[in-house]
Each structure stands twice: as C-alpha cells, then as structure tokens.
Structure 1
Amino acid sequence: MDKPFADISARLRWHRALLGLTQDEYAVKANLKRAQLNNWENGNHRIGLDGARALRKTYGLSLDFIYEGDINALPMNLRNALLDKPIAS
C-alpha cells in the first residue's frame, strides 16, 4: 500500500539527510518533537502548517517545496544541493 504523503516524506528525509542530522537533532533544532517528524517522514501523516512553518523558519524550506515539491521556491543553495543529490523516493 502506498503511503498517502510519500512525496512530502521524501522531501523531508532528503533535507534532513543533506544536513546529516538525526531525526532528534533535526526536530529539536526546529522546536518540534521527534515523534512528529517521524510521523511525517514515514509518509502516513501530513505535516501541518505549524510544523511546516517551523521548518521554514529554521531551515529555509519553503511551504511550496514542502507541500508541492516546487524546487524554484527553495533558496539557491538548497536548489543546487537538490540538483547534486536528487530526492530518492
């Protein structure tokens, strides 16, 4: 069975891996709970607006990238990183 939010999940996992952070480190830095991040990364739960805004504020991820995968909404450094290391499904 496909995960309903696998696309969002893949983008979040890609970004965390790019930074070389554990789920706990990534979540704590954004003032989130690791369990929340785990739920989003497993693809069964959709990240809420408050969580997405926390990632935007902390890491510069745009809401358009998180929800829609719009790479043009990313800062140039992340856009270049995405071209160098594409998101794995």
Structure 2
Amino acid sequence: MNPEEKPYADIAARLKWHRELEGLDQRAYAAAIGVKRSTYSLWEAGSHRLSLNGALALRRRWGLSLDFMYEGIDDALPMTLRRAWRERP
C-alpha cells in the first residue's frame, strides 16, 4: 500500500465529524474512549482501520452505532446525532 493512501477515509471522516461535533481535540476524544491519542490519530487519518474495541467504545460513550462507523448507515444513531449528520454541509 502506498503510504499516501487512506483506505479507511470514510470511517476517518465520520470519526473527525463526530469529534468536532463534540468540540474535542484528538487527545480528549481518545481519552474519552480509552485509547491512546496516537492510535486514534491513525484512525482519523484513515491509514488504519477503526478497531472493533474502538467502535464498541464509541457506541458505549456516545451511542455511535457500528453500522454508522463502518458503513455510514445512520438509521441506528440517536436522533440528535442522525439529524446533525444529515444536516452537515
């Protein structure tokens, strides 16, 4: 894989969207879900795939469904998050 490729760019975009929605920097967001900032940074950069444990932590902390994080399906999101996702620019 070319180092400039971002195979998980869609997941990365959803992570960044939600982190910014929460008003947190990467360090605070990572701490909120119990991962190292360096690990989170790789996920948000799109160079590494969000782990299952990471996705489950997002679900427990903020209600972000696995369907949303991995596939972009927003039906299982809490209503306020679904509305914010659908109204983003």
TM-score of the pair, normalised by structure 2: 0.90
In structure 2, what is the Cα distance between the partners aligned to 1:40 and 1:73? 22
In structure 2, what is the Cα distance between the partners aligned to 1:53 and 1:83? 22
Aligned to 1:3, the other structure's residue is in SS state coil
- Show CA shifts across 1:52-71 (max 9, x none): 10111111100000000001
Q: Does 1:49 align with 2:52?
A: yes
Moved more, 12-21 or 75-84: 75-84
- Show CA shifts across 1:3-52 (max 9, x none): 10000000000000011100011111111111111000000100110111
Runs of 4+ that moved beyond 3 A: none
Match in the other structure for 2:67: 64
In structure 1, what is the Cα distance between the partners aligned to 2:86 and 2:55? 22
Query: RMSD between aligned alpha carbons?
Result: 1.1
Q: 1:84 aligns with which of 63, 83, 87?
A: 87
Cα distance, 1:84 vs structure 2: 2.4
- Identical positions, percent: 55
Structure 2: any 5+ residue segments left out of the alignment? none
Structure 1: any 5+ residue segments left out of the alignment? none
2:59/2:66 contact within 8 Å kept: yes
TM-score of the pair, normalised by structure 1: 0.90
Cα distance, 1:2 vs structure 2: 4.1
